[in-house]
Amino acid sequence: MLAISGQPGAAQAAARHAATTTRHGARTSVRRPPAMAHVPANWNQHGLASWYGTGRQNGHTTASGEQFDPDALTAAHTQLPLGTRVRVHAVSTGRSVVVRVNDRGPYRGHRIIDLSPEAARQLGIMGRGVSTVEIEPAREADEEVASATR
């Protein structure tokens, strides 16, 4: 039906803004927790991560206003302040990487973070689609590079 209306991007835009349509055509919005003002030093999160950044996202503007770069070590998170650096540890591979939050999401499933393709590659989870991770605030000494097994 979207192809007939000539607006194939309408469904994608609605998904990006977390709007849903009821079966009667009314639009509703999905309630998301508000973004945090700052990240406590002892904050951490454990859950599922995925990666995003197919050809459709290349060159698109992220929530922070910068262009999406699949080769950068960046991520999308629903609550963390934009610009926050976090260490993401992949439980299955034992690798970790420091990424900078520059976008909002993920909006699908029970995922807690969406990683750029480069971050997923360095964590060794690119082929898995979804992987269990642990997230914690990056320390000042942490660099934005992947580490070996900890």
Task: Please state, rounded to an integer, the average pLDDT across all residues of the chain.
Answer: 79
The structure's pTM equals 0.72
**Rounded CA gap, 111 and 90, in Å?**
14
49, containing H or E segment: strand 45-51
Residue 4: per-residue pLDDT? 43
Q: Which of 21-25, 42-46, 72-76, 124-128 has the weakest average pLDDT?
A: 21-25
Tokens of 44: 């951490």
Q: What is the pLDDT of residue 25?
A: 57
For residue 16, pLDDT over 80 is answered with no
Secondary structure of 68-136 as H, E, C letters: CCCCCCEEECCCCCCCCEEEEEECCCCCEEEEEEEECCCCCCCEEEEECHHHHHHHCCCCCCEEEEEEE
Give the per-residue pLDDT at 140. 78
3 state DSSP class of 19: strand
Cis amide linkage into residue 106, ω under 30° from 0:
yes
pLDDT in tens, 92-134: 999 999 999 999 999 888 899 999 999 999 999 998 889 999 9
What does the pLDDT read at residue 17? 44
Q: What pLDDT, on the 0 to 100 scale, is given for residue 84?
A: 95
Of residues 103 and 29, more confidently modeled = 103
Residue 54 has pLDDT above 80, yes or no: no
Beta-carbon contacts of 142 under 8 Å, excluding residues fewer than 6 positions away, are 85, 87, 98
